[in-house]
Amino acid sequence: MDDPEICEIFQSIMGQILGAYQPLSIASLNILYMSASGHPQDVSVVVKHLGSLLSNVSSNSTLPIAPLHTSFRDFLTDSK
């Protein structure tokens, strides 16, 4: 991605999803993002394109979102 702001938003949202002790819903992630950044952001704008990698991204916003496979977490956290 060429836009640093978009990269920062993506990294923040994915960090929240991957770093959560228990999977959080889109509604909870929106609240968490707002609390952390002070800026409103609809998390579903980012995760809706990741439906093949994350659970519950296109359905009810109260369902928890989690990676479907550990390899996606490994890919995002590997510095290479």
Question: What pTM was computed for the model?
Answer: 0.78
- What is the biggest distance separating any 2 CA atoms in the chain, rounded to whole angstroms? 34
pLDDT on residue 20:
87
Is residue 64 helix, strand or coil? strand
Amino acid at 45: V
Q: Taking a C-beta distance cutoff of 8 angstroms, is the pair 41, 9 a contact? A: yes
Q: Tell me the percentage of the chain whose pLDDT exceeds 90.
A: 15
- pLDDT tens digit string along 5-40? 888 888 888 888 888 889 999 999 999 888 888 888
Amino acid of residue 56: N
| Domain boundaries, given as residue ranges, for the chain | 4-77
CA 22 – CA 39 distance, rounded (Å): 24
What integer pLDDT is reported at residue 24 of this predicted model?
A: 92
Q: Which of 1.10.3470, 3.30.420, 3.20.20, 1.20.120 is the CATH number of 4-77?
A: 3.30.420
pLDDT tens-place string over residues 41-57: 888 888 888 888 898 88
